[in-house]
Structure 1
Amino acid sequence: MSPSELRAAEGRSTGLALLGSELGVLFRRRRTWAMLAALAAVPVLIAVAVRLSDSDGRGGGPPFLSSITQNGLFVALTALVVSVPLFLPLTVGVVAGDTIAGEASLGTLRYLLAAPAGRVRLLLVKYAGAAAFCLVATLLIVITGVLIGAALFPVGPVTLLSGDTIGVDGFALRAALFAGYVTVSLLGLSAIGLFISTLTTVPVGAMAATIVLSAVSQILDALPQLEVIHPWLFTHHWLGFADLLRTPVDLTVFGENALLQLGYIAVFGALAYGRFATKDVLS
């Protein structure tokens, strides 16, 4: 093996070890478990509320709420609709805002950089950790929603928005697509949080700024007077996963959403690198 190949192998080994350490630290934190528990409580509360209510939900509420009593699988979809605008951005903002600023506030950032990791690799690992949280959080909501829905309500074939009917196994595939769609939707916000985290040594400030930007983007997206900028807002397609409930599956909005989030990842990833690469790390 040539020296360049040895260095590449050592770099991959270091990167994987750093990623494993990052994921271990992230998912061992009590704060992470508390946020995941709060997200898992969303479908449980929805299901229990519908079960104890005399109403079938036709008087109002989020989409799919009126279908829960006929099919418990719709608890997962309703929980996603409820969680995407507020609860998921709140938790993702906490994780992403803490990536670099948290290490700086603890005084461990310079020790991480002293290891043979490099600033680029550290940024990539921190972002990968935030992305992993997005996936775990979304899957947790979907899985908890399916389980509590099956426990409290009848479960059977699902009628899609297109009028077709699919079995439980077909719905499982759609549920995986829902989770993937929402995870992709949150990747742009994670990149924004990573960039903001490089600007400060106060993690609470980075978390708050990330969450506020998420709320501002959603408010701007709701104003018809600003329709011209709507397609460029990272929150614009967040609730577009309802289009996956059609036959055949329409992946157009999935692709548009993925392309939009990729743009935000590229822009704010570059900004994070530009800031972090020239930053004097004193803590």
Structure 2
Amino acid sequence: MSRAEAVPGSEAVPVEGTAVRKPSPLWTFGLFRSELVTTFRRWRTIALLGVLAAVPILIGIAIKIETSDGSAAGGGGGEGPAFISQITNNGLFLVFTALAATLPFFLPMAIGVIAGDAIAGEANAGTLRYLLVAPAGRTRLLLTKYATTMTFCLVATLVVAASALIVGALLFPLGELTTISGTRISFTDGLGRALLIALVVAASLTGVAALGLFISTLTNSGIAAMATTVGLLITIQILDQIPQLHALQPYFFSHYWLSFADLMRDPVYWDDLFRNLGLQTLYAAVFGSAAWARFTAKDITA
């Protein structure tokens, strides 16, 4: 049975000796559910989530060992979005540190792999035509692929946050938090901000997801699409660190990623957060439209 036949919410209608799919109102949900199941049961996806969950564990253990003699974590520093020096006082800061550590590379790399394989992987496996026979429709299929990728963004971010919270609670004390501004907030308030930060981090990856999906429509090789997407991510990250390109850097999708640290200010500083979300929306619109234009005009041969 092909993947298209396995999607619920459609029924076969004979037309001149052939069977075509007549979509029901539940077709879109059925297709989305099928894509989610297919994506999250792959060993590659499980391995990516496992690596992401391991990062907070390694950070927590390293800091626990470093501070076992009473010295301060991070050599006594504490500035910047990583909050390393605060972890020994409150394990909740491990959530913020883990997200700051995974956002520049690990999280976008995982998203690049999933997005890059979305269309190209189906073409390479020979299942793309079967998905379009149902009829899913190219636009609906593309939107479903993007929604699946964004769901992975959210799940991956929450995996990092949950792993960090568990490790932080096991290795370090929990309690009231001191914000960047120096004010004290309750643990419940801090937990709410941690969840909000995780959501902002997931939203920060919408541009990467759209870029990867666009690249995926350009080739029938899933490996080539994934490699190209990850390569572009690394290139942009390097360019964002070159001082001579300061005029262009505010337009790089990664430039405001670490602005989530402003959620730990009191009051919250929203300017860079809104710039980040606006920039991600722009990238999603541009590359999403490019992916749609390419995919709807593409000759599907596999």
Question: One fold, TM greater than 0.5?
Answer: yes
Identify which of 84, 93, 97 aligns with 1:74.
93
Q: Which of the residues 258, 267, 278 maps onto 1:259?
A: 278
Question: Where does residue 41 of structure 1 map in the other structure?
Answer: 54
Q: Report the 3-state secondary structure (helix = DSSP H, G, I; strand = E; otherwise coil) of the residue aligned with 2:90.
A: coil
Q: Is the 8 A contact 2:82 2:101 kept in 1?
A: no
Indicate which of 87, 110, 115 corresponds to 1:96.
115
Kindly state the Cα deviation for residue 160 of structure 1 after the two structures are TM-superposed.
Answer: 0.1
TM-score normalised by length of structure 1: 0.94
Q: 1:51 corresponds to which residue? A: 64
Distance 1:132 1:24 in 2: 12
Partner residue of 1:19 out of 4, 23, 32: 32
How far did residue 14 of structure 1 move? 1.3
Q: Report the equivalent of 1:5.
A: none
Q: Are the counterparts in 2 of residues 185 and 238 from structure 1 also a CA contact under 8 Å?
A: yes
Alpha-carbon distance between aligned partners in 1 of 2:227 and 2:218, rounded to the nearest angstrom: 13
Aligned residue for 1:161?
A: 180
- Summarize the alignment of residues 1-283 of structure 1 with structure 2, pairs less than 5 Å apart: 12-53=25-66, 54=69, 55-59=71-75, 63-283=82-302
- Decide whether the 8 Å contact of 2:176 with 2:187 is kept in 1: yes
Which one has a bigger Cα radius of gyration? 2
Q: Distance in 2 between matches of 1:58 and 1:211?
A: 29
* Aligned length, in residue pairs: 275
Pairwise CA distance, 1:12: 4.5
Provide the rounded CA distance (Å) in 1 between the counterparts of 2:276 and 2:227.
24
Letter in 1 for 2:244: Q
Q: Give distance in 1, aligned partners of 2:104 and 2:127.
A: 33
What's the offset of the Cα at 1:254? 2.1
Indicate the residue corresponding to 2:17 in structure 1: none
Render the CA deviation track for 1:128-160: whole Å, top value 9, x for unaligned. 011000100101111111111011111110000
Contact kept, 8 Å, 2:181 with 2:265, in 1: the verdict is yes
1:207 maps to amino acid = M
Partner Cα separation in structure 1 for residue 166 and residue 104 of structure 2:
23
8 A contact 1:18–1:125 mirrored in 2: yes
Deviation at 1:11, TM superposition (A): 6.2
Query: Which one-letter code corresponds to 2:138 in the other structure?
Result: R
Runs (5+) with no aligned partner, structure 2:
1-22
The aligned amino acid for 1:56 is: A
1:187-229 C-alpha deviation (Å, 9 max, x unpaired): 1000000000001111111111111111111111111111111
Work out whether residues 253 and 279 of structure 2, in 8 Å CA contact, stay in contact via their aligned partners in 1: yes
CA apart distance, 1:230: 1.1
- Give the secondary-structure state (helix, strand or coil) at the position aligned to 2:50: helix
> Within 2, Cα distance between the matches of 1:279 and 1:199?
9
Query: Quick one: structure 1 residues 19 and 52, their matched pair in 2 at CA, closer, same or farther if it must change by over 3 Å?
Result: same
**Cα RMSD (Å):** 1.5
Amino acid in structure 1 at the alignment position of 2:54: A
Secondary structure, counterpart of 1:116 in structure 2? coil
Instruction: After the TM superposition, list the runs of 4 or more consecutive aligned residues in structure 1 that deviate by more than 6 angstroms.
Output: none
SS at match of 1:235: coil
Counterpart CA distance in 2 for 1:24 and 1:43 is 26
Give 3-state SS (helix, strand or coil) of 2:26's partner: helix
Structure 1 residues not aligned, in runs of 5+: 1-9
Task: Please give the alpha-carbon distance, in whole angstroms, between the structure 2 residues aligned to 1:237 and 1:181.
Answer: 11
Structure (1 or 2) with the greater helix fraction = 1
Shift of 1:251: 2.5
